[in-house]
Amino acid sequence: MAASNDGGNKYRSYLTPEDLKTTQWRAGPPDYTVIDKFFEEGRTNVWPAGSLEEYVQHLVKTWEMELVHKANPDQYKTLDPKKFVLGINGKKYFTLEETGKIGGSYNVFLQTSLPPKLRFYDPDQETYESSQTAFRQVFPRGFALEVVQVYSWPPVIAYKYRHWGYMEGSYKDLPPTGELIEMFGMAIFELNEESKIVKVEFFHDRGELLAGLLKAKPSEGVATPSGCPFMA
C-alpha cells in the first residue's frame, strides 16, 4: 500500500505547483520546508516505502493539511465533507462546518469541559487566527506529527501518534524554555468505499501539551489557575 506522491510535498498529497495555484487557501499556500526538516530530525521511525505505516502517516498529514489550510471544503480530497465528523475523547462530535466555526485544529484538539476560569487555554475564546498565531510563536519550527504504530488496516484505521516541539517562543506572557514538549495519543479513522475519511476520533490528554507550556516561569503579575487545568 503506497502513499501517494504526486510531485508535491513528499509527506502530503495535493501540494503540486498546480494545486498551490488553484486551491483556495485560508492564508496563502502552506510552506512545510521548516517543519518537514524538523520532523525528519526528530522522528523515531522511518517507515519503509509502501508500508501500511507510511500510508497512514501520509494520509493523516494530508488530512491535517487540508483541514488547517484549505478554505473551501469542496476542494477537500481526503474526506467526505457531507458525512465527516470529528470527535475528541469520546465526548462531543463535530461536523466539518462546526469544526470550521470552532476555529480549526488547535481549538478542536484542545476541547475541554472544564469551567472557563480553570482553562489555561480556552478554545471557546480563541479564533482560527489567534490559535495559529499563538502556537506558531511557541513552536517556531512547528509541532511535528509522526505515526508511532498502526493497529488496523483500512477501512477502519487505528493508530498511535506522537506530537512534539520545542518551546522556543513565548506563550502569551510565559517566556520560552527551549524544552521538548511531547504529546501522545490514539486515533481512529473510518474510510468509506471511496477511501474518503468519514469519521475521526482522537483520544489524548491535552495536559501533555499545556503542562509543558506552564513550565515557563510566569512573568510578574501573571496568575496561573489552581488545580489541573487540562483533563475533562
Q: In the chain, where are the structural domains located?
A: 17-214
- Look at residue 172 in the predicted model and tell me its pLDDT: 87
Is the pLDDT at 51 greater than 60, yes or no? Answer: yes
Is the pLDDT at 179 greater than 50, yes or no? Answer: yes
- Look at residue 219 in the predicted model and tell me its pLDDT: 46
If we measure between CA atoms, which residue out of 147, 152, 149 comes closest to residue 164? 147
Question: Which pTM was predicted?
Answer: 0.89
In this prediction, residues 15-21 reach a mean pLDDT of 96
Is the pLDDT at 16 greater than 70, yes or no? Answer: yes
Pairwise CA distance, residues 204 & 111, whole Å: 11
Residue type, 170: S
Distance of CA 210 to CAs 163, 195, 215, 225, 229, Å? 13, 34, 9, 12, 9
Distance of CA 138 to CAs 44, 134, 180, 216, Å? 22, 6, 11, 11
Is the pLDDT at 91 greater than 90, yes or no? Answer: no
What is the average pLDDT value for the chain, to the nearest integer? 90
- Look at residue 46 in the predicted model and tell me its pLDDT: 98
If we measure between CA atoms, which residue out of 20, 54, 48, 51 comes closest to residue 146? 54
- Exposed/middle/buried for residue 9 (C-beta within 10 Å: 0-12, 13-18, 19+): buried
Is the pLDDT at 7 greater than 90, yes or no? Answer: no
pLDDT tens string 137-156 = 999 999 999 999 999 999 99
- Look at residue 6 in the predicted model and tell me its pLDDT: 63
If we measure between CA atoms, which residue out of 18, 2, 136 comes closest to residue 10? 2
pLDDT tens string 93-139 = 999 999 988 877 899 989 998 899 999 999 999 998 999 999 999 99
pLDDT tens string 198-231 = 999 999 999 999 999 988 755 444 444 333 333 3
Instruction: Please tell me whether the peptide bond between 155 and the residue prior to it is cis, using omega within 30 degrees of 0.
Output: yes
17-214 CATH? 3.10.450.50
Pairwise CA distance, residues 104 & 97, whole Å: 10
CB 188 within 8 A of CB 156: yes
Query: Listing from the earlier edge strand, what are the strands of the sheet with 197-204?
Result: 93-95, 85-88, 197-204, 180-191, 156-166, 144-150
- Look at residue 178 in the predicted model and tell me its pLDDT: 96
Phi, psi at 198, each rounded to 5°? -115, -20
